[in-house]
Structure 1
Amino acid sequence: MRRAGRKPEPSLISAPRRAAIISLTALATLFVLLLWHDFRNTWISPGYERHTLFHLSVYWGLWLVWPLLAWLGWRLGRAVRARRIAAALVAGSAFATGAALAWARFIEPQRLVVRETRLGQQCGAQVALISDIHFGKFTRERELNRLVDRLNTLPIDAVLVAGDWTYGPPHDLAAAFAPLARIKYPVFGVLGNHDEQMPGPPVADELREALTALNVKLIDGKRVWLGRCTLIGIGDLYAGIADSQVQHLQLDPPANPAERRVVLTHNPDVATLMKPGMASLVLAGHTHGGQVYVPVLTQLMLKRNTRGAYEQGLYPLPDTRLYVTPGIGTDILPLRFLVPPTIDVLSL
């Protein structure tokens, strides 16, 4: 008589659970590989290793918002079908929050908008003003190429860049900014606080060399012609450069009248240093327009970053006018909400 074979013992882990474990392991491995690749290729200031790891973790980790939204949508559907009002309200609120986060991380930072403004500066020129590209942790090659392509479609005479080119950039700055060589207009710029190690790695010298090789004219402390106007570059305020350059401008003013002098700088607070007759227009960035707009909270944040709580747009000041652009990139968090990246086309 033949013995009956032993029945196989049931698996302690069900098939769906095994699939979930395998998927999570694959995602975790991919996350670690992406994080390590970015970390080892990023220019990092000594002592800021943890900050960089945090920023890169947020940049890649926020991709999980998409499976989270799928799960919350499924829970919301179940609650609605079962007519469980309280559960539906909780799931709906969580889904709306997740959707707003997905928009701020993946949709709005890609919405490159063009805003046209007439400033009546008697320069006979039209320029594209941009700022805060922040190439590095959050702004990558794809975004920079898209920016260059859009600039090349505009009817302008020059591109003005109001600082903060970098934010934890890769080691090879010449390769990182190589797309700028495709801009078909003259490009003038100044450095910002993140380029001058305030905060950030010490990239100023290497950045100047890389940008100069790409035909970008950095004009900190210099003057160039812009149509019938003089364009005056003023260096970064946080780095202690702006004060001395403004004093030099006061002692040695340009030959043409004030209504035909335009200052390009990074921090809008430089406009408060202007004396009567020095320049009638200051162009700046730095504030990101708040980057994430939340009523009251955004204004409080801007008050901590600039003396005038400057957000974006035109500000008439006692001794000059100030125009602030909301910038292109992001810092601290890779989010924009109700403040899309903007190219300001200014008719001077």
Structure 2
Amino acid sequence: MKLLPYAIVVVFLALIAFTVIYLSKKIIYIFGIESTRLVYITFSLLPLIFMVVSGVFTNATGMIGHILYKTASVTMGIYLFVLLSFLVADGIGIFVKLKPSTFGLIGFGLAFCITLFGYWRGASIQITPMTIPMEGLTKKVKAVHLTDIHIGHFRTNGFLQEIIEKTNAQNPDVVLITGDYLDSEYALKEKYFEPLKQIKAPVYFVDGNHDHATNMDSIYSLMKKVGVHVLENEKATFGELQIAGLTHMLADRNSFDMHASDEKPTMDEVLPTLKMIKERPTILLHHAPNGIKYANEHGIDLYLTGHTHAGQIFPFNFVANMIFDYNRGLHDYNGTKILVSEGIGTFGPPFRLGTKSEIIALDLIPKH
């Protein structure tokens, strides 16, 4: 487990090197470029620029940083789509000999279409209905699960307003938010929290890694100001339901998560302190889908989480599947249900491919 961070870095750098060499060769081939050095330098710089700009300007609040972050993010999304499109064109070339101009037409044309589709897919919020029986419930509870909204450089109040309208349309009894409400200090303003007052049900919130990277104290304060119940390693009661909420943390001291600090308490340390009543139907809110065995040990019936974005953009869904035991959807662990939402917003490039932006509408019903 200790070698995992290094293995991830090595694999990532190897993939970047492959994309630089592959795309450079294809551009040279398509356009018949004789002086190739500039092409290789350009494609070597693009990933480097994205990483530097995204690191430096993620929390930019000024207009210049805002524009630089958005430009770098969109550019890297297109970079990936051009790579995928050229690979498809190469696949076609196995069966049909393609001239350089034809290869370029197919590759760039497909990349253009994928870019438009990916942007539309990322901005299109879907409702995912789900019915979950729960031991101890005597009457149905309608809940809405929201996660990874990522209000920031790309998603602002228009997007938030759509989420609220779609949420209210489900007529929920309760709304549960599992972190990453913001992804940048660019949106750390009261106007991006005020619309939450329009939600026609009690709202419970736990933080995510991007909330921490933004400014956790300010987010807590702004959430409370608009009437949201913030759960910071504590439990609450809503009707027959017991709702436990954890801050973003590791499962235990032997776990690795690049987004969670090992200086903070862990799930196996915090859950016993909540002294949950196992006989009551219990929901756990936590940002990342880890520590399921500890949730199970403490009588959690339903574990609501997000964080993964299901990989957000193909082929990263396969990477997310390797990293997370539970990457998307509903699963069962010894009687504890864990529901991993694909999230609503996006981080980095504002695209989705092979995943969806979802609001989960839950019907929690008595288990007979």
Change over 3 Å in CA distance of 1:97–1:136 after alignment to 2: same
Aligned-residue offset at 1:145: 1.1
The question of 1:135 aligning with 2:156 is answered no
Counterpart secondary structure, 1:170: helix
Which has a greater percent of helix?
2
The answer for the alignment partner of 2:342 in structure 1 is: 326
Counterpart secondary structure, 2:210: coil
The answer for the alignment partner of 1:228 in structure 2 is: 240
Counterpart secondary structure, 1:117: strand
Change over 3 Å in CA distance of 1:42–1:251 after alignment to 2: closer
**Fraction of identical pairs, as percent:** 20
Q: 5+ residue gaps in structure 2?
A: 1-56, 83-96, 250-259
- 2:294 and 2:121 map into 1 onto residues whose CA distance is 34
What letter matches 1:293 in structure 2?
F
Count matched residues.
Answer: 278
TM-score, reference length from structure 1: 0.71
Contact 1:314–1:322, Cα closer than 8 Å, also in 2: yes
Change over 3 Å in CA distance of 1:150–1:62 after alignment to 2: farther
What letter matches 1:119 in structure 2?
I
Aligned-residue offset at 1:256: 4.7
Counterpart secondary structure, 2:212: coil
Aligned-residue offset at 1:42: 7.5
Counterpart secondary structure, 1:196: helix
Counterpart secondary structure, 1:231: strand
- Out of 249, 254, 258, the residue aligned to residue 276 of structure 2 is 254
Counterpart secondary structure, 2:129: strand
Counterpart secondary structure, 1:185: coil
Counterpart secondary structure, 1:274: helix
The answer for the alignment partner of 1:298 in structure 2 is: 317
TM alignment of 1:170-189, pairs within 5 A: 170=186, 172-189=188-205
Aligned-residue offset at 1:270: 3.1
The question of 1:279 aligning with 2:300 is answered yes
1:156-175 CA distances to partner (integer Å, 9 max, x unpaired)? 11111010111113264211
- Out of 97, 110, 126, the residue aligned to residue 96 of structure 1 is 110
The answer for the alignment partner of 2:127 in structure 1 is: 114
1:245-301 CA distances to partner (integer Å, 9 max, x unpaired)? 64343255223516x11101101113243352431221100001211133xx52224
- Out of 223, 227, 231, the residue aligned to residue 219 of structure 1 is 231
The question of 1:264 aligning with 2:264 is answered no
Aligned-residue offset at 1:140: 1.6
1:204-231 CA distances to partner (integer Å, 9 max, x unpaired)? 0111111111111111212122331201
Question: Is 92-101 or 143-152 further displaced after alignment?
Answer: 92-101
TM-score, reference length from structure 2: 0.67
Contact 1:108–1:337, Cα closer than 8 Å, also in 2: yes
What letter matches 1:291 in structure 2?
Q
Counterpart secondary structure, 1:346: strand
The question of 1:151 aligning with 2:174 is answered no
The answer for the alignment partner of 1:8 in structure 2 is: none
Contact 1:119–1:347, Cα closer than 8 Å, also in 2: yes
- 1:177 and 1:275 map into 2 onto residues whose CA distance is 33
What letter matches 1:98 in structure 2?
F
